[in-house]
Amino acid sequence: MNKRFLNALLFGAVVLSTGAFTSCNNDDVDDLKSRVSVIEVAIDDIKTQLGNALMTGASITKVDEKDGTYTLTLSDGQKIVIKPGGGNISMVVTDTEAIITIEGEKYVLPLGSLVNSLIYSPETIDGIVEIGNAGVTVNFLARPALKNLDGAQFTIAESHVLTRAADGEQFKVNGEAKLEGDFIKVPIKALGEAEGGKTYAVSLQMNLKGTIIGSNYFNVKVSDDFSSVAEDLGGVTIKADYAPKDLADGFKEMTVNGLDLLKEFNFKDLFSELPEGAEFVVAGNNKQPGGKAQEKRELLSKSLASDGKWKFSERPGTSFNDNVDRPGFLVNVVVDDVVKAKIYVVIIDELANVDFTANGLIGNFEAEWGGRETAMGMGVQTLNFPKAITNYESEIPIIHGSSKENFFEKWANYSISFEGESLIFHNGTTLEMGDIAKKYAEGCRGIYWFYRGFAVYVPEALATVEDGDKKVYIAENGKKYGGGDGYDYDGWLGQYNDYINNPIGFYQTVIDWGFGDLTMDEKNGDFHFPESYTGYGLRIALGAGYEYAYGVKPLHGTGTDQLGMLFINRRVAPEGATMPAPKP
């Protein structure tokens, strides 16, 4: 949403009255010229400051206003002050940029990050960084330039031998980065994965107060005499509570309950023995089991701090157990860059094998709202699906086929349990989560409602033209449609997890039809009709799902992929109803 911070004629206004304007003396003219000259200088200064900001790539990090004066703080530390009395200036701030217009000239500055780029600055002719056992310091330029490194954290984003791909485990940031002039000096160190005599392409990553900036690649040549002890396993004991196992090649396994990993805790608490100075590192991609552990390695790395503090940085969407040969993800215990333990962390997802469709529902419903008696009115209104299919006798007068027998009565008794406790159940109006389901869904959507499919139909009431032995509706393009027939606008979203992967995809299809946004509120199942709704017929296929930390589950009947379909105004239509323009 745009917010207009400033829209004022700061020049002031000279208003001529309807009476006669006669003259002014020379002193008045000189004084006016002097004041106008000062104003022009102030405007020129602001233009110069904005021009410099654009040239250096600065962004606006803060906007302050007091008594009509606006102060713009830039990412390079500079401030631009706009005071009343300066000229014709306006400013509009969007979610991504500020558009400042001065006397018709626009200046567009981005919002947000203090730094837009991080550039390696070579110190040798060939640009190669030579590194040995002692490490090396590498220079980087930040744009815009930084005044200090407060809140900045540096890591190696990725590294690979120039002849093969790898995973960034050959190097680490070794100590505190320093700011000297415009240069950021970052010490890096070669680790045991690095090979003497090889040249690597390396990229640095800076986390500046939550904003991630990656550098360009630079070449690092490891000295021929480089040596390092990569592993010295021992001194690490996993607590019995976490089912420790010793595996081949020095690896270990531990098992952690999925709910426990959704809390903030410290990995150190999972061990009865750790060596002094132990740190935790999520192993690189080429060490992780194939599948989700590799795909989501960055998420895992952000979730586990070197001191053991753990908190999922975002919803994982998996328990990392998709690789049946080696479930879990790999964490190393490291002391002074030497690996002391290699541990696969296996997550127990208690809901993984729960069948959420085993609820007594058979098939799905097919019903008509209003039937032949009542039409859905035109314009803005809301229909709540859970309420409608719960109170079907009053909300949906016509039921097709055996829907009532197979679906509606069982819908009111929908219940999924786990170890004697309710996970999802019908509360008399809609679906509700039990305590365990709520815990697993913390930070997730939990129960959600979505379009399974959507189509436009011609109400029988609009099929008024005689066509042989039946009546039809004739569209603007001359095409004939029988009453209750589809109107060519038809779309199927897919399965419940397709909605997860592309939650706005089907909405966009509806919007592209060009006659108003027909939207579903995923939280409560409200179906919203827009002002542009003109009473035409609809078929809405409804789906529901349960999203929790480690996956998604369908909430429908056995042997189907939706809760059912509700027809609206397929037979009757409100007075004055019209069809949309036919599909091109």
- Residue 162 or 440, more confident: 440
Distance CA(191)–CA(339), nearest Å, equals: 10
Superfamily of domain 117-222, CATH level 4: Cadherins (2.60.40.60)
How many Cβ atoms sit within 10 Å of the Cβ of residue 59?
A: 20
- Residue 414 or 134, more confident: 414
Instruction: Quote the pLDDT of residue 81.
Output: 84
CATH 2.60.40.60 residue window(s) in the chain: 117-222
Instruction: Quote the pLDDT of residue 268.
Output: 97
Instruction: Quote the pLDDT of residue 397.
Output: 84
Distance CA(256)–CA(38), nearest Å, equals: 70
At residue 582 the predicted structure's pLDDT band, cuts being 50, 70 and 90, is confident
Q: What percent of the chain stands above pLDDT 70?
A: 84
- Residue 2 pLDDT > 50: no
- Residue 377 or 284, more confident: 377
Q: What is the mean pLDDT of residues 204-209?
A: 82
Stated as kind and residue range, the H or E segment containing 497 is: helix 496-501
Sorted by sequence, the CB contacts under 8 Å of residue 398 that are 6+ apart come out as 367, 368, 370, 371, 372
Buried b (16+ CB within 10 A) or exposed e, 383-421: bbbbbbbbebeebbebbeeebeebbbeebeebebebeee
At residue 6 the predicted structure's pLDDT band, cuts being 50, 70 and 90, is very low
- Residue 108 pLDDT > 60: yes
Please tell me the least confidently modeled range out of 20-34, 154-168, 271-285: 20-34
Q: Which residue has the tokens 């002002």?
A: 531
Please state, rounded to an integer, the average pLDDT across all residues of the chain: 83
| Cα torsion 63, 64, 67, 69: sign | negative
At residue 371 the predicted structure's pLDDT band, cuts being 50, 70 and 90, is confident
Over residues 466-522, the pLDDT tens digits come to 998 999 999 999 999 999 999 988 877 666 665 544 444 344 444 456 667 778 888
Kindly state the tokens that stand for 543: 């789906």
At residue 103 the predicted structure's pLDDT band, cuts being 50, 70 and 90, is confident
Instruction: Quote the pLDDT of residue 178.
Output: 92
Please tell me the least confidently modeled range out of 107-111, 174-178, 241-245, 346-350: 107-111
Over residues 548-562, the pLDDT tens digits come to 999 999 998 877 888
Over residues 15-30, the pLDDT tens digits come to 222 333 333 444 544 5
Over residues 222-242, the pLDDT tens digits come to 998 887 667 899 999 999 999
Distance CA(525)–CA(451), nearest Å, equals: 10
Instruction: Quote the pLDDT of residue 515.
Output: 67
At residue 339 the predicted structure's pLDDT band, cuts being 50, 70 and 90, is very high
Q: What is the DSSP string of 272-293?
A: EE--TT-EEEEPPGGGSPTTHH
